[in-house]
Amino acid sequence: MLVLTIDQRGSRRDGDRVPELLAAFEDVWPGAVAGSAVPRPEGVVLGFERTVGDEVQGALDDAGLAVAIVLRVLRAGGWSVGIGCGRVDEPLAETSRAASGTAFVLARDAVEAAKSRQRVVPFAVRGAHHQAGLDAEAVLTLVAATAARRTAAGWEAVDAVDAAGPHARQEDVAAAMGITQQAVSQRLRTALYDEARAASGAAARLLLAAQG
């Protein structure tokens, strides 16, 4: 199981952003929030919810979805993110707050590590398989750091391609954006879009291995 623990940074300065984060989750992944009126999406085992203070937690069994959520949260900024990879106690409780097990303990260790000021990206992974967890952390940190250096134009192209879906033609994306196909291609190359996608897939596989 993959447990994501997300803790707000600078809450005294910025106020409580947990409702904002949960609303964003529900908008992108309907049903991903605990207590949602719609069924949980595939891959979400325990819906995301506030656990204590300005902290949010959820449990997944889909590593690709975990990567997508981590990258979206890090892009938004203002959060420390930890992933714990391991077993959970069975029978599984109905909420993240009530659940327990190795993955939850490791997620706590990970989010505390993510808060270190020495980290360029406030993110960490702790796994039952220790080295695989560290490898997943290294790869996903690099993806997030690369994304953080994208320009507004780069993000516009990345978002347009992602929204269009995996089978969309680049010329159609360009027409929707009102720019040339060559301009879209150049923006995606500069943003290291293909490289980041490949690395994200590698990170997902490492997260699975980190479960032990």
What CATH number labels 2-149+200-210? Answer: 3.30.70
pLDDT of 28 strictly over 80: yes
Report the pLDDT value the prediction gives residue 98, as an integer from 0 to 100: 94
pLDDT of 12 strictly over 90: no
Would you list the domain boundaries of the chain? 2-149+200-210, 152-190
Angle at 19 between CA 18 and CA 20, to 5 degrees: 90
Q: What are the helix and strand counts (H, E) for the chain?
A: 9, 5
Peptide bond preceding 91 in cis form (omega within 30 of 0): yes
Digit-coded pLDDT (tens) for 70-117: 999 999 999 999 999 999 999 999 999 999 999 999 999 999 999 999
Beta strand residue intervals within 69-142, DSSP E: 79-85, 123-127
Digit-coded pLDDT (tens) for 119-177: 999 999 999 999 999 999 999 999 999 999 999 999 999 999 999 988 889 999 999 99
Report the pLDDT value the prediction gives residue 79, as an integer from 0 to 100: 97
Burial of 27: CB neighbours in 10 Å, binned 0-12, 13-18, 19+: exposed
Contact between 110 and 67 (Cβ < 8 Å): no
